[in-house]
């Protein structure tokens, strides 16, 4: 019974795990998996200044930054630097790998055009996200150069509601208004290698499955407001950043670690997806949570207590009532000697009922003729040939040798 119960619990756990894995987000298979740019763009939209934006993405309570590019098993601090050219803001997220090298993570490209139209795109660095990884708000469809573009990540998640935004609405974001005031001075973080704010305390990185499970609760928000882009809205920016003598910073130490595949240890705990999901579940309003995972969780919790009664039903109470039907099942699956029925008398050797579980024609059916002797109910059970003991009863004495006639009348004549 214990083995059966353990096997059933194991199968339930495997089924739930496979079901959870089927709903997990797709991974890039690159170090950029540990900095969700959808989450970063959401923080950017909600921040009032770049200083606030930098603090929020490094806040351990927000769990947005999960990068460990230098491999010291500690989260790296992300700095924010803004470069401005021709009314285009190139706001770069960057990590100091050591005292001499820096590695770019992603760039927020903000472009302002006539009629107060503002474009925002988040471009992941090619070393971390691959080529042309672009996240942007769900702009209205007007002016899309390639409407037939389809990304490999289009089916990653379908939000409950997809909300579009106009370029004019983006211009009203607090941080956009902040960087376009005439008195704005481009932000350059004062922090860097071994120079961190007093509130900063690095922590150990989470596995990617835990990290993705944590952010899965926000997918209705992420994919409801933002989506993958298919082209660069500012054609000049790409050359400014990736061209010869461009703004981009690359670290040889990081590139060597990446080429060796050392970052792949982050994918070693797929079972932690549910753990990360449970941590952030209560932080998201019920109506904004993904339906698929929230339904999996209660079904998983309810299966454990409900499975135990079903196991108990399949033990002794399930098999023992079959004893009453033994005459119709002449098989040896049950042992009648350990499971007596109330109809059988409690006599020492109850062999009369045994033929009901054995095939016909066996020698155990001989005692069925014994009850035909009403005067001797007990002796025939032990001694099958009682008539042979009647011979000594005809010899009352040895003095009657001459009585060979076999009668007792001659002795009375003497």
State the pLDDT confidence band at 115, using cuts at 50, 70 and 90.
confident
Residue 53 covered by a domain: yes
- The reply to whether 84 and 189 lie within a common domain is yes
- CB 64 within 8 Å of CB 35: yes
In a domain, 180, yes or no: yes
- Within this chain, do residues 205 and 62 fall inside the same structural domain, yes or no? yes
pLDDT of 290 reads 77
Asked if residue 228 belongs to a domain, the reply is yes
Are 162 and 281 contained in the same domain? yes
Residue 153 burial (CB count, 10 A): 14
CA distance 211 to 206: 6
Which stretches of 123-199 are DSSP H helices? Answer: 126-129, 167-170, 174-179
pTM: 0.65
Residue at 7 is within a domain? yes
CA atoms within 13 A on the CB side of 200: 20
What is the predicted pLDDT for the residue at 413?
Answer: 42
User: 322-372 pLDDT, tens per residue?
Assistant: 444 444 444 444 444 455 444 444 444 444 444 444 444 444 445 444 554
d(CA 410, CA 400): 9
User: Do 213 and 264 share a structural domain?
Assistant: yes
Domain that includes residue 305, residue range? 1-23+292-314
Give yes or no: residues 298 and 223 share one domain: no
Please state, for a pLDDT cut of 90, what percent of the chain lies above it: 54
Res 148: pLDDT: 52
Instruction: Assess whether 165 and 297 both reside in one domain.
Output: no
* Nearest Cα residue to 86 out of 242, 243, 239, 249: 239
Is 38 within a domain?
Answer: yes
> What confidence score (pLDDT) does residue 167 get?
92
Q: Identify whether residues 94 and 121 lie together within a single domain.
A: yes
Report which DSSP code applies to 156: S
Q: Has residue 257 been placed in a domain? A: yes
| Residue 152 shares a structural domain with residue 80 | yes
Are residues 85 and 3 both part of a single domain? no
Neighbours of 402 (CB within 10 A): 9
Using one digit for the tens of pLDDT, what is the confidence trace for 29-63?
999 999 999 999 999 999 999 999 999 999 999 99
How far apart, in whole angstroms, are the C-alpha atoms of residue 178 and residue 377?
Answer: 111
**Same domain, yes or no: 36 and 161:** yes
In a domain, 327, yes or no: no
Looking at the structure of the chain, the number of domains it has is 2
In a domain, 382, yes or no: no
pLDDT at 17: 41
190 shares its domain with 84: yes
Q: What does the pLDDT look like over 173-212, one tens digit per residue?
A: 999 999 999 999 999 999 999 999 999 999 999 999 999 9
Supply the pLDDT for residue 162.
85
Is there a single domain that holds both residue 119 and residue 180?
yes
- In this predicted structure, what is the pLDDT of residue 287? 67
- Secondary structure (DSSP) of 357-411: GS-TT-GGGGGGGGGG-TT-SSHHHH-S-GGGGGSGGG---SS-SS-TTS-SHHH
Average pLDDT over residues 284-300: 57
């Amino acid at each position: 019974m214990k083995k059966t119960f353990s096997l059933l619990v194991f199968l339930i756990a495997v089924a739930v795990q496979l079901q959870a894995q089927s709903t997990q987000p797709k991974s890039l298979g690159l170090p950029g998996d540990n900095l969700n740019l959808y989450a970063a763009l959401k923080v950017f939209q909600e921040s009032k200044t770049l200083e606030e934006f930098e603090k929020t993405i490094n806040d351990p309570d927000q769990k947005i930054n999960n990068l460990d590019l230098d491999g010291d098993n500690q989260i790296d601090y992300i700095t924010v630097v803004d470069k401005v050219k021709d009314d285009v803001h190139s706001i770069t997220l960057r990590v100091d790998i050591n005292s001499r090298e820096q590695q770019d993570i992603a760039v927020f490209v903000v472009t302002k055009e006539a009629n107060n139209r503002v474009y925002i795109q988040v471009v992941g660095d090619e070393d971390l996200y691959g080529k042309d990884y672009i996240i942007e708000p769900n702009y209205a469809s007007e002016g899309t150069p390639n409407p037939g573009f389809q990304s490999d990540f289009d089916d990653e998640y379908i939000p409950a509601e997809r909300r579009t935004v106009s370029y004019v609405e983006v211009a009203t974001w607090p941080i956009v208004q902040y960087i376009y005031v005439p008195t704005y001075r481009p932000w350059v973080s004062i922090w860097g290698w071994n120079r961190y704010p007093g509130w900063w305390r690095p922590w150990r990185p989470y596995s990617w499955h835990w990290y993705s499970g944590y952010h899965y609760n926000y997918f209705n928000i992420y994919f409801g407001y933002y989506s993958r882009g298919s082209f660069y809205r500012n054609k000049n920016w790409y050359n400014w950043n990736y061209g010869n003598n461009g703004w981009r910073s690359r670290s040889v130490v990081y590139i060597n670690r990446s080429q060796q595949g050392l970052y792949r240890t982050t994918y070693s705990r797929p079972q932690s997806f549910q753990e990360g999901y449970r941590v952030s579940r209560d932080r998201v309003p019920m109506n904004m949570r993904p339906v698929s995972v929230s339904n999996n969780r209660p079904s998983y919790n309810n299966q454990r207590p409900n499975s135990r009664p079903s196991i108990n039903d399949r033990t002794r109470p399930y098999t023992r009532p079959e004893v009453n039907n033994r005459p119709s099942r002449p098989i040896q699956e049950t042992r009648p000697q350990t499971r007596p029925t109330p109809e059988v008398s409690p006599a020492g050797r109850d062999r009369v009922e045994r033929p009901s579980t054995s095939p016909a024609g066996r020698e155990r059916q001989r005692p069925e003729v014994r009850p035909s002797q009403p005067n001797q109910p007990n002796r025939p059970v032990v001694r099958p040939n009682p008539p042979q003991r009647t011979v000594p009863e005809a010899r009352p004495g040895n003095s009657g040798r001459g009585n060979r006639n076999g009668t007792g009348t001659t002795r009375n004549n003497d």
